[in-house]
Amino acid sequence: MSDVSLPSIDRIFGSRPILCDGAMGTMLYARGIFINRCFDELNLSEPKMVRDIHEEYLLAGAELLETNTFGANAVRLRRFGLENKVAEINAAAVKLARDAANAVREKHAHHAYIAGALGPLGLPEPERDADVMIAAYREQVQALADAGVDLFVVETMTSMAEAKAAIDAIRQVSTNLPIIAMVTVTDAGNVSDGTSPEEAAKLLAEWGANAIGCNCSDGPQLVLDTIERMRRVTSLPIAAMPNAGVPSCVDGRSIYLSSPEYLASFARKAMRLGATIIGGCCGTTPQHIRAMRSSVKAIQSQAEGVAQVGDKPAAAVIEPAPLAERSQLGRRIATGEFVTMVEIVPPKGFDPSRELEGARMLKKLGVHAINVPDSPRASTRMSASSLCLQIEQKIGIETVIHFTCRDRNLLGIQSDLLGAASLGMKNILCLTGDPPKMGNYPDATGVFDVDAVGLTRVLRDMNHGLDIGGQSIGASTGFVLACAANPGVPDLDMEVRRFAAKVEAGAEFAITQPVFDLKLLETFLKRIEGFRIPVVAGIWPLTSVKNAEFMKNDLKVRMPDQILHRMAAHAGTPEQSRAEGIRIAQEMLAEAQPMVQGVQVSAPFARYAAAAEVLEALLVPVTAE
């Protein structure tokens, strides 16, 4: 549809970001309404409950309320014997949302818009007759329009045929009300009927949607990936409304574990990808919306600040030095040399003497660089940058500093990176970081202004002499940019897409998570052939069968049964177990070496000699300081 007279989302909202509400179903469920009830019918039998939930979302900052009509069409209401109450249920839903909006506006001067919500019909494919679907939607749409909605939201569409039917029904009833149309995608990244996000974006625009996007799905990251792909093929406003993560069953209830802070981080990322309509789906409570509101306000303030700058000329872009000139590790990577690294975890206190002695020993043995994690598993330890600085200054061996997005906002990220550059630290591994709930202080909050992809872009810009606002920092930081990869994840398609995004953002080499099944590494390397950068394989010398079982069961590392059996067969003494773990690691290194350009060996429980033993066939001892 190309009618230029179609209504515009901008006519209602302007060009600023708009914050939507969260999950009505989640809030009803939390109030004891179980899923065998018809949630839409509660507009008639429990009107105060529905209105109260609307008011909670408004007081949290929502500027757009969706009516409680996700399944209020004849097809879905028929399951409850309510197919004759379509008009009554939808009219009551609009009245409850409007009454809540009016009450909050009178008390708090907070204006909100009312969107008539249309969900999927849920018909099996053989029954998806276009006329039947349009008729079902048209009845619902007519009731919503007559009751006075400001716009329509077509959401959680798993079938493009149903999405088209919903849009066609709206346009038959009303040509002057805007439509936000959103699909939901599977773990594979496509709509359930196989339609890609790019094709879905094109079709929704062609059929007459005024804004398009993605909602529901398995959490924020999948929605971010989807809207990023949609943005490439459309100029329409983008909507993003994810689930609050993947639900877990706790005491018989479905609980969504993504924190409000994580959804606030999602909101910032979504808006940076071009989304202007932000909200939440299943599991998203008023607490999530309140946190997201802070992000929306921050982005609005940034936009206003940029507008006040006027026509200030852009800072000059600096071309960074070639990779081989930025650090010794960069030179080794650039020239194709096989690199060796050992991971040294910072101490839990402030005395790094054991770690420094380990670095001294590894340097003498010929290890090229020391990898230093940034509070791994969200544990409280000495800062990675402090230990890196001491290793480089006191021991004289290069380090690779792990830099996470968990603990710093964008200001702190840039400040710390500028400080690292001024101190001569050049090799940075960009990581999203483990969430605080994994660590020993689960009540701590995570920041996550950006993820690993965004962090890589920040570093790339700094290498070109620019901060995130495009302002000059005076010179190139000269960083060597590394990214992480995990060949053993269950969803390899998603990992490959993320890896491609990291490479596009500027990553220059990659370090994998510990790999115990080299077939997984081989498969991953084949999948990234079109955008491969040098890959350093992670190797972990197991210390016991208990260690192997912990990694398999607690850390979800893919651990072949063969390795478990070998470790169990050598469980007589700790020395025998460690020796077998080293043998397994040496065998893996020998097999992996032809496939990769380096190896990073971990040192479990600070056993640096064990890591060196794994590498002994590759090391050339340093004979002079």
What is the Cα–Cα distance from 64 to 68, expressed in whole angstroms?
Answer: 13
Q: Are residues 67 and 189 in the same domain?
A: yes
Binding residues: 216, 281-282
The CATH number of whichever domain residue 258 belongs to comes to 3.20.20.330
**358 — phi, psi (to 5°)?**
-65, -45
Average pLDDT of every residue of the chain = 88
Can you tell me the distance from the alpha carbon of 222 to that of 604, in angstroms, rounded to the nearest whole number? 33
Same domain, 169 and 264: yes
Q: How buried is residue 576: exposed, middle or buried, by Cβ count under 10 Å (0-12/13-18/19+)?
A: middle
Q: Please check whether residue 561 lies inside any domain of the structure.
A: no
Residue 566 in domain: no
In a domain, 116, yes or no: yes
User: In 3D, which of 512, 579, 572, 513 has the Cα closest to residue 542?
Assistant: 579
Q: How many domains does the chain have?
A: 2
Query: Which residues are documented as binding site for Zn(2+)?
Result: 216, 281-282
Angle among Cα 559, 561, 562 to the nearest 5 degrees reads 105
How do residues 365-403 score in pLDDT, each as one tens digit?
A: 999 999 999 887 767 889 999 999 999 999 999 999 999
Q: Domain check: are 40 and 176 in the same one?
A: yes
Cα distance between residue 163 and residue 193, in whole Å: 12
- The domain that contains 435 carries what CATH number? 3.20.20.220
329 and 278 housed in the same domain: no
DSSP 8-state class, residue 395: I
Higher pLDDT, 294 or 178: 178
197 domain residue, yes or no: yes
Q: Are residues 349 and 275 in the same domain?
A: no
The H or E element that residue 607 is part of is none
Rounded Cα–Cα distance for residues 200 and 310 (Å): 37
Residues whose CB is less than 8 angstroms from the CB of residue 199 and which lie 6 or more positions away in sequence, other chains included: none
Question: Reduced to 3 states, what is the DSSP secondary structure of residue 368?
Answer: coil
* DSSP track, 470-523: S-B-SS---PEEEEEE-TT-S-HHHHHHHHHHHHHHT--EEEEEE-S-HHHHHH
| 340 shares a domain with 267 | no
pLDDT tens, residue by residue, 331-375: 999 999 999 999 999 998 999 999 999 999 999 999 999 999 988
Question: Is 575 part of a structural domain of the chain?
Answer: no
Please report the pLDDT score of residue 443 as a whole number.
64
Q: Is 248 helix (H, G, I), strand (E, B) or coil?
A: strand
Q: Which domain holds residue 108?
A: 16-304
Which of 451, 435, 466, 465 is closest to 403 using CA atoms? 451
Helix axis angle, 220-231 to 260-272, nearest 10° = 10
Q: Does residue 495 lie within any of the structural domains? A: yes
Confidence check: pLDDT of 593 > 80 = yes
Q: Which two tokens stand for residue 353?
A: 């003497």
Residues 283 and 407 placed together within one structural domain of the fold: no
Residues 276 and 375 in one domain: no
Q: How many CB atoms lie within 10 A of CB 315?
A: 16
In a domain, 426, yes or no: yes
Span 277-312, pLDDT tens digits: 999 998 899 999 998 998 787 766 554 444 343 444
Q: Is residue 5 part of a domain?
A: no
pLDDT of res. 624: 53
